[in-house]
Structure formats: C-alpha cells, structure tokens
Amino acid sequence: MPSLRRRDALAWIAASASALAGCRRASAPSGKLRVQLDWVPEPEFGGLYEARASGAFAREGLEVELVGGGPSTPVVQLVASGGADLGVVAGEELVVARARGVDLVAIYATYQSSPQGIMVHASRGLRRLEELEGGSLALDTGAPFGAFVQAKFPLSKVTIVSTDGGVAKFLSDQRHAQQCFVTSEPVAAKQAGSDPQVFTAKSLGFDSYANVVVARGEALRGGGDRARAMVRALQAGWRGYLSSPARANAQMASLNRAMDAATFAQVAEAQRPLVESDDTRALGLGAMRAGRWKALIDQLVAVKIIGADAAPKPEACFVFAT
C-alpha cells in the first residue's frame, strides 16, 4: 500500500480550451493519457485496471497508460510538471500541494474514507485508542495522519517509534501497536495467525479522501469533457471491479508477483467499505463534497501541517462531484 509516501503530446493537457471542449463521448482517442499510480498494482487500483480490461476507457474515447509506482514515486511532482497527465494521491497530499502553490485538482475520490488506521492486538481489550498504555506505537509522525494522532490522543504512556511498514514487530510483541493501512498490514497479520484490531482513521476523526485521481488545474479550465469522460470510465471500472474483481486481479497479479491470488481477493473485499459510502450511493462512485475537503483542510491547519494563511479553498480542491 502507499507510503505516507517524458511529457507525452496529449490533447487534453497541452491543447487549447477549444480542443478540450471538442472532446465528446466515444470520440476517437487523441493521445495516450499517462496515469501515474502511487504504488505497485494492487486492489486499490482495481477499478482502473478493470476499466481498461472491460473497454470502459475505450468507450469514452480514452487511451490510457497505467504506470505503476512505489514508495518514493513523486506523483505530485510528476503531474504538476507534465510528466504524467493524471496521478493517484492521498487527499491530504493534494491539500498540502495546493497550500504550496501547486495547481492540482481532484476529479475522482476512489476511497471515500482514509485507509489508514492504528492496529493493536485484540487481546489487549481496548475499546478506544485513548486506552492505549505501555508498549510501543510505530507512527509516521511527519505525515498528516501521524501528526493528527499525536495531537489528538494522550500517548504519553506509550513509546513512539518509527514505522517500517512491516508486521514482524507486531507479530512478535503483544504490546506493540502500529500505524497501518486497513487493507494491508491487518490482512498480513491475520494471515500470520495474529489478532489485529484496527481503529480506522475515520473512527479516530481523520476522514480524508484517498486514492484521489488528480489533474493539473490548467487542463480543466476552459472545458472539461475529457475529464468527465475519465470520471465516467472510472465509475464503470469500479462498478465492474466491485461486482467481480477476478479479471483485474489477474492482470495486476501478473505485474505484482509479491501478492498472491488469495491476498488479492481478501484485499479487494476489505477495501469495499472504503470505496462505497452514503455519498457514492446518492451521487455516484468517486463523489466528493466541499464540506469534507474543508474538514480535512481545517485538521491539517490544526496540526500545523499547513499554515492557516496558505490553506486552500475547499471548492478549489476538486471538480466533478458526480
């Protein structure tokens, strides 16, 4: 899962506003859209691979190249500089980027809730994170979620250590807790016979959108048919993947040998509550609301990730709520 982690001649990025406005559903592709992922192919990108496999991109007149990432892939920089046309980032990354003057805009929020959380051993019998005492907690204190946890919860009786993203320490120490992605480390811990209990970011009060598809603002101004076509294709791809993930999982497994078929299936099911929400049922998959962006911006200001004077306007963070 993601870490709190050639310019193509493409019509929808480089062309004039009139060219953008001329793009229509089912028109012939006018260039390959390069989509930079922030991690290796895994179920969190299942809808994109299903959109390609099912022909959803092609039906919208889109030719899409999906580019795998890794722990140090600079997605924000690649999209901002034109090295990629679209990218996948966390909601908090987008807010921080805009606070620093980078004109990125979200067009689709794959995860309606953050996949992050705090994983503890169920044997400790904790009902709330506030009850965590003793032992260690692996936390990325320099990232927004880690900073939020430290600011909100009294952890003076816990030893904060750096996180390495693995589960070896968790498996060997019943008093060790760690920051996690709910679709990653808990799955691995269960497979190893452990007893993970997860306090999700949403339950803790940190409710960021995640796996957000972003584009440069300049590509969306003056016309947005191309981006709307992408949103429709993503919605179709994710509907297909939620219904039957096997085809896309097989494609991703051929590119990611580190995850076996059983784990692909488990993660695909574990992420379903993140993809679907009351908003998506009312407005469609990928939907976003200004109020949610405002709440996230306010939280990042409160934990001093961004300054109040640099905080972006919520409405500037996204387009195409449906």
User: Is the confidence at residue 14, as pLDDT, over 50?
Assistant: no
DSSP-H helix ranges across 55-107: 56-59, 75-81, 91-99
User: Is the dihedral angle over the CA atoms 282, 225, 209, 47 positive or is it negative?
Assistant: positive
Domain assignment of residue 212, yes or no: yes
Task: Say how far apart CA 91 and CA 282 lie, in whole Å.
Answer: 21
Angle of CA points 182, 44, 70, to nearest 5°: 95
Q: Are both 170 and 124 inside the same structural domain?
A: yes
DSSP-H helix ranges across 66-211: 75-81, 91-99, 144-152, 168-172, 185-191, 201-204
**What residue type is 202 in one-letter code?**
K
Model confidence band, residue 320 (pLDDT cutoffs 50, 70, 90): low
Q: Are both 107 and 230 inside the same structural domain?
A: yes
Percent of all residues in the chain with a pLDDT value above 70, rounded to a whole number: 89
Task: Say how far apart CA 311 and CA 96 lie, in whole Å.
Answer: 8
Choice among 4-13, 55-64, 265-274 with the minimum mean pLDDT: 4-13
Angle of CA points 318, 91, 98, to nearest 5°: 65
Q: Are both 106 and 216 inside the same structural domain?
A: yes
Which of 204, 230, 254 terminates a domain? The answer is 204
Task: Say how far apart CA 67 and CA 189 lie, in whole Å.
Answer: 29
Residue 180 maps to which CATH number?
3.40.190.10
Which of 107, 306, 304, 119 lies closest to 224, judged by CA?
107
What's the average model confidence in pLDDT over 203-215? Answer: 96
219 vs 165, 223, 288, CA distance in Å? 35, 8, 19
User: Is the confidence at residue 218, as pLDDT, over 80?
Assistant: yes
Whether residue 57 contacts residue 196, with contact meaning beta carbons closer than 8 Å, is answered with no
Q: Are both 153 and 213 inside the same structural domain?
A: no
What's the average model confidence in pLDDT over 59-84? Answer: 96
Q: Are both 46 and 179 inside the same structural domain?
A: no
Task: Say how far apart CA 278 and CA 294 lie, in whole Å.
Answer: 18
What's the average model confidence in pLDDT over 70-83? Answer: 95
Domain that holds residue 91: 11-113+208-316
Angle of CA points 229, 234, 79, to nearest 5°: 80
| CA-based R_g, the chain, Å | 20
In sequence order, what are the beta bridge partners of 212? 89, 109
Q: Are both 163 and 104 inside the same structural domain?
A: no
Q: Are both 240 and 93 inside the same structural domain?
A: yes
Task: Give me the pLDDT at residue 222, please.
Answer: 60
Task: Give me the pLDDT at residue 225, please.
Answer: 83
Q: What is the pTM of this model?
A: 0.88
Choice among 10-19, 141-150, 312-321 with the minimum mean pLDDT: 10-19
Task: Give me the pLDDT at residue 62, please.
Answer: 96
Task: Give me the pLDDT at residue 316, please.
Answer: 96
Instruction: Quote the mean pLDDT of the chain.
Output: 89
Model confidence band, residue 154 (pLDDT cutoffs 50, 70, 90): confident
Q: Are both 195 and 56 inside the same structural domain?
A: no
What's the average model confidence in pLDDT over 153-157? Answer: 91
Q: For 231-280, how does the pLDDT look when each residue is reduced to its tens digit (9 = 90+)?
A: 999 999 999 999 999 999 999 999 999 999 999 999 999 999 999 999 99
Model confidence band, residue 293 (pLDDT cutoffs 50, 70, 90): very high
Percent of all residues in the chain with a pLDDT value above 90, rounded to a whole number: 83
